[in-house]
Every structure is written in C-alpha cells, then in structure tokens.
Structure 1
Amino acid sequence: MDPPQRLKMTPQRRQILSVLRSRHWHPTADEVYAEVRREIPRISLGTVYRNLELLARAGLIQKLATAGPQKRYDGNPTRHFHLRCRRCGRLEDAPVQEGFDPLDFLTDPAGYTVEGFVLEYQGLCASCRRASPEDPPSRPPSV
C-alpha cells in the first residue's frame, strides 16, 4: 500500500468527505454524487469519481472491494469490518469485539507474506427481513 499523500482540501473534496463521514452505510460513487449534488448542484459525476480515488489514495477514506457489483466507499479509514445484506446490497460497519483480529486465527500462511485481508459478514438487513419475514435466516458455512 502506498503511503498517504497530502491533498489540498477543495470544497468538492470537503463535501464528499462530509457525506461519507456522516453515514453509517457505505455508498457507491453514484450515491455519493446524488448526496453531494444537494450542496454543489453543478458538480459532475466524473469529479466525484476522481475525488473518491484521490481521497482513497491519500488514506482519508477506504475504497471497499466487496462481493457486490459496485465499489463502495467508507469515510472511516481505520481497519474495521462490514455487514452486507445479501438481498439489497446495503453495506455497513459490523460491531465486533474490541481487539478482534482475524490474523490471530491464521495458523499456517503456507509460505505467504500476508499483506491484508477482507472480512465481510453477510445476511439480511432489518429492512429486508421486515419486507419478507417468510425468508428464513440462513447461516453460511464457515470457511
């Protein structure tokens, strides 16, 4: 991972950061764009995409590589884990115990130098469960 870069804080970047840091879910670039346009109506989608990339490279946000079709963005750049709804794709922070580190469970990295990992819990969010209570909760097998 590249070291964080210093980045001039333009009004567009400030507004994008504000949107990301005020949400507990992790929006796509299109969702960030829709929110930012409320404050900066003339901003383009391309400007939002470019600034999301710059903010991620600077270490101010995270670009999340998840199982969903679109990249999502997180205003919290510290290491933490996520919950993803398997029906609607909503992605939010997972409440885990303080000090939990999945690397503690890696017993034999088979010659790898481990540089990182992705941990994403999956299930149904409260809204999707309410919309379809007959869909029984499923527990995926542990990998």
Structure 2
Amino acid sequence: MIYSKQRELILKAVLENRVHPTADAVFSFLKPDHPELSLATVYRNLNQLAKNGLLIKIPVPGGADHFDGTLEPHYHMICEKCGAMVDVPREYVPPFDHEFEEKTGCRISGHAILFYGTCKHCASSAKASS
C-alpha cells in the first residue's frame, strides 16, 4: 500500500475516534481542517486500510459500514435507540468454532457477529426518566 498524507490522516481519525465511525463521520470530522478532502477519498482510503488489515470494516445490514481501529478479536453491539456502536469483549461470547467443527465436520474460517441492544447511556437515560 502506497503511503499518502490523506490516508495517514484518515487512519489517525479512526484510531483516535473510539466510536467506530462511518465514512461520513470521518469526512465530517476532517473536512473543516482539510477542505481539499473529498468524501470519495475517505471511502476509498477506509476500504483500502481495511483491506490491508490496518482497520476493521464492520458491515451493518441496512446501514452504513463502520470502521474500527481495534484489531484484537472482539464483537460489536449497536444501540437500537441512538445507533452507537459499542465493543463487546470476546470473552463474553462463548467459543463455538471447535465444537461446531466437531459436530458438523465443517471448519469455520471467520465470522461476523453484530449484537443489538441498548447502550449504557440510553439505558441510564431511560431509568432517569422513569
């Protein structure tokens, strides 16, 4: 992958922004200080960074892809109230790859699990208003 200032800027924005931003969010964050930046450049570079293993691309059914700079294995939850994406540590989800292989003979090479629920901010707001 060829180095570019814009690619480095986009990578830094995702790594420093722990909310799993979309391409639109990265663009909105960077545009005021970098007026030469285009949305197409942000999309292209985010996809290239994910393809090269520097970011994780999180497809969201019916929504925009999100990007994550945390490369260690983990899962994600989307808040159904505010749309925030939250990390779910892998230890909260029981391992199933080996058991699945033993029972079916199929070997899993990867998976994507996306949980849906209510984030702690929305849950505490709901409690406060009750």
Q: Secondary structure at the match of 2:6?
A: helix
Distance 1:14 1:39, change over 3 A: farther
Task: Tell me if 1:89 matches 2:83.
Answer: yes
**Mapped contact 2:76–2:85 kept (Cα < 8 A):** yes
For residues 38-64 of structure 1, the C-alpha deviation after alignment (integer angstroms, 9 at most, x for no partner) is: 332220001101111111111111111
Task: Tell me if 1:69 matches 2:67.
Answer: no
Structure 2 segments unaligned to the other structure (5+ residues): none
Q: Secondary structure at the match of 2:91?
A: coil
Task: Tell me if 1:114 matches 2:112.
Answer: no
Question: Once the two structures are aligned, what percentage of the paired residues are identical?
Answer: 30
Q: Structure 2 residue aligned with 1:42, among 36, 43, 48? A: 36
Counterpart residue number, 1:28:
22
For residues 44-88 of structure 1, the C-alpha deviation after alignment (integer angstroms, 9 at most, x for no partner) is: 001101111111111111111234511111112332222221222
Q: Number of aligned pairs? A: 129
**Mapped contact 2:101–2:107 kept (Cα < 8 A):** no
Q: Structure 1 residue aligned with 2:72, among 70, 78, 81? A: 78
Aligned letter for 2:41?
Answer: T
- Structure 1 segments, 4+ long, off by >6 Å, are none
Distance 1:46 1:94, change over 3 A: same
Q: Secondary structure at the match of 1:121?
A: strand
Q: Tell me whether 51-60 or 106-115 shows the greater mean CA deviation.
A: 106-115
Q: Secondary structure at the match of 1:132?
A: helix
The structure with the largest helix share of the pair is 2
TM-score (norm 1): 0.74
